[in-house]
Amino acid sequence: MTTSPSNPAPLNQAGAASPLAPEWLQVPADLNALHEPLWAGGVERNDAGELAIDGISVSELQRQYGTPLFVLSETDFRARARAFSDAFNDAFADICGGVDVYYAGKSFLCTAVVRWVEEEGLRLDTASGGELAVAARAGIPGADVALHGNNKSDGEIHRALDLKLGRIVVDSLAELERVAAIAANRGETAKVMLRLTPGVHAHTHEFIATAHEDQKFGLSMAEDSTEQAGLSAAEEAVAAASGHASIELLGLHCHIGSQIFEPDGFALAAEKLLDFLAAMQAKYSIVLPELDLGGGYGIAYTPVDTPRPAAEIAQAMAAVVRSKCAELGISAPRISIEPGRAIVGSTTFTLYEVGTLKTVRVDAPGENAENDVTHPRRYVSVDGGMSDNPRPVLYDADYSAILASRTSDAAPELSRVVGKHCESGDIVVRDVYLPEDVAAGDLLAVPGTGAYCWALSSNYNYLARPGVVAVRDGSARLIVRGETEEDLLNRDMGV
């Protein structure tokens, strides 16, 4: 960084891209316009130029609930849930009579969401005892709930059996034996699916690609993955599960990763699991009636993201399952899927208030620092940050942002939206063009924050986690209350 250039480059003019911007980021033709794929239905600018959702302005939301604030469209959530259910049921109707759609609760869960899921005809996927507790409090039948996890406690397994869950997705040979023993001691039968790793590496961030071998999830399908010669861990688990009277082996499960746009990975995983399913049915004279192909369908976080419609994904996957089952000469198993982000992600935006601003001058990537030409980057600080959205620091995730409290005719300026935490990596939006005249007190909206933002939120620096407001038919209500400092202090046993 050069702090005192002798020959500074001019500030950006309208339509001029900054040399500091990533190649994919274009200067918007209209900084006030909303790029539709990023936003929930019902979000628009009102006559005063403010962002509004179902007619409720962001200034009114701030007045009632403060900022930061997660703003969720219940109408949009329900519509996306129905779209997945309808698309997959239509695509698989002639193959296996339809599909069971499990909403992946890890993306965002509260009792209101569980009720919406149930009312829209979906089932629920959980990943911990706490998520099971939310499901139980909401009243969804246990038969419509699944439990995941690579390290389930005995207490979680007991709770799953208490609630008579429709499936426990077993992640290892050791866990299979524990589930079998606990169920046997209770005189019950556990309904189990085996999570396999088909070795399909999704084109995504390393830490959210979950079907290649070198990671913590699932039973390997590689033949050298167990001490028994010629057996994979996956086959050993099938054999062991089939031999336990306390286990009802429903079938197989896989999940290849997250934020995936292309269907190729899903198709390859489906083919590999169907091959394995057919081989296991023949070898052990059993029936594996179900196959879960997981989730991971991507959404738009920036204008260059191009997610596929649910119907297109469904048709592509159905074609593969139909063809492969015919090739193998087997009846198609009942298919299930687990969308989470694809349902809730785009339903929500986070509302922030702008605080301090500063502009620094830096060398563009690849430039010769000796030429003393630097370029401006503006830092726009907001009243939240990595405590309400840790995805940028965890996954290098990109987001977008827009001036929400008014329109502006000012020229675009490359900006970095940052939080208020004591970390240099506390970045909310790494690169975005915002109007030059953004000032303290303005409101910014960051779309696409419905998944894995509130769910991963923290109290770092003792910030209270924001509330979640659901909007439907022109009215807003809290579905998760924002925390207060008193909430945080109440857990401090020295107070």
Beta bridge partners of 167: 146
In this structure, what token pair is assigned to residue 231? 């057996």
* Torsion region of 442: left, alpha or beta (phi above 0 gives left; psi -120 to 50 gives alpha): beta
Marked catalytic residue, from 96, 110, 325, 422? 422
* Torsion angle in degrees (nearest 10) through CA of 467, 45, 438, 418: 40
Residue with tokens 């070898």, as numbered in its chain: 283
Give phi and psi for 116, each to the nearest 5: -60, -45
- 325: annotated active-site residue: no
* Spatial distance between the Cα atoms of 416 and 414, rounded to a whole number of angstroms: 7
Q: Are 218 and 196 in contact (CB under 8 A)?
A: yes
* Spatial distance between the Cα atoms of 310 and 317, rounded to a whole number of angstroms: 11
Give the active site residues: 422
